[in-house]
Amino acid sequence: MKLLRVDPDNRIYRTTYATVCTGFGDYERALPLYRELVSVIPRDPELHLSIGHALKTQGKTAEAIEAYRAAARVKPSFGDAYWSLANLKTYRFTDEELARMRAGEAAPSTQLADRYHLCFALGKALEDRAQYAESFACYERGNALKKTECRYRPEISERNTRLQKAVCTAEFFAARASFGCESDAPIFIVGLPRSGSTLVEQILASHQTVEGTMELADIPRMVQDLQGRDREQGEPRYPAVLAQLSTGDCRRLGEKYLADTRVYRVGEPFFIDKMPNNFRHLGLIHLILPKARIIDARREPMACCFSNFKQLYASGQQFTYSLEDIGRYYRSYVELMTHWEAVMPGSILRVQHEEVVADLEGNVRRILEFCGLEFEPACVEFHKTVRSVHSASSEQVRRPIYKQSLDQWRHFEPWLGPLKSALGNLPEVPRRLSMSHATGSGGSA
């Protein structure tokens, strides 16, 4: 703001300010800025893309589509424009658009990032046309191209799982029962991406006392501070450093989390942090915020893993660009969540996506009871709630619940052998009987 006051016409300052507003979820301020800029420089495809993203997040789908199409018109090889259309999940490409995507992906001059964006968009377009073999080939090519930019090593996350289990035992938590900040305001929704977590968030955010925010980066930043530098060299400081935290340390960290996240909130009694990867840090969360509710949003392994393979992420989630890596990551996730449920009894509610689809109201009641909230019909009619939704499922949670996507992965089953092998024989997942869902029984799943 200081720079803008000095030079209000500076395009770089104005673009940066609009981007910062977007980062804080202030789209009402960001959109006019982007539109002013695009009126001056209409040939900038990134500005059209930014406008599309802001509109999509607000639920203005038709306007978002026009913005994405404008970006593609300005730059025909702009892969991100086509992927953004595909990532709406509800958009269907025309024959002309499909031809342009094919040509762009095949052109030798197309840059790497544009090429893998086009591959993922083509995969979605062809899947919608039931051309599954060619669709899978495009997804596979897109993942292989994207993986060349990644540094993901599965053994590092698997080592973290082993260390968390060794440090965060039942005895460890029992000795620290009085630690942490007493606030019960946060509700953490964890799990893998594409697991139904946005649906759970939308259900809860439809309650008049709960505020939906976004995938907040505050816990991962706290972990970075705790583990320090050279975290991948030798024996890492985190999570062993958790044993060194005093009562005061844990209370201060809990208070810091609440203070740092306040900028994303407007003052409701409860708020949601939907960062999925926080499942790795539930030990830390339980230490600093022992009264926080934790919901594990879970989805059938093959469906969840393949949905991630089809998804191109703006950043992070580097485990998703290989069927083998995804399978190993899912196994590690199940192993760690089984541990957390054992050492933190009553603190975690497991919500199985397929069961929510089968019995929406029963599971809504169960979720609300776990969070200590009165039942409100608006939570069942979640698709009517008007709010910004930041995930790839933003358009899906603005429609009534549907079952069609549960088994979409089966169309691709002939090519998913590596994923099945990586998943192996997962341990049986204990789940509540459907009758207990219907009666709204709460507690840990």
- The residue ranges of every structural domain in the chain are 2-111, 154-438
DSSP state of 108: T
Cα distance between residue 246 and residue 285, in whole Å: 14
- Phi then psi dihedrals of residue 294, to 5 deg: -125, 125
Number of Cβ within a 10 Å radius of residue 332: 20
* Residue 439 in this model has a pLDDT that exceeds 50: no
- CATH of 2-111, picked from 3.50.20.10, 3.40.30.10, 1.25.40.10, 2.40.160.40, is 1.25.40.10
Higher pLDDT, 424 or 403: 424
State the Cα–Cα distance between residues 188 and 200, nearest whole angstrom.
Answer: 11
Q: State in words which class domain 154-438 has.
A: alpha beta
pTM: 0.86
Give the Å distances, CA to CA, from 44 to 19, 201, 314. 15, 34, 19
How many whole angstroms from its chain centre is CA 311? 11
Query: What is the distance between the alpha carbons of residues 35 and 26, in angstroms, rounded to a whole number?
Result: 15
Share of the chain above pLDDT 70, in %: 89
* CA–CA separation, 204 and 73 (whole Å): 39
Half-sphere exposure of residue 230: CA atoms within 13 angstroms, side-chain side: 3
**pLDDT(442) > 50:** no
Model confidence pLDDT, tens digit, residues 62-84: 999 999 999 999 999 999 999 99
How many Cα atoms within 13 Å fall on the side-chain side of residue 166? 10
- The better pLDDT of the pair 4, 154 is held by 154
Quote the strand ranges of 284-423, DSSP E.
293-298, 348-352
| CA distance to 148, 186, 357, 391, 397, per residue, from 402 (Å) | 36, 29, 7, 18, 10
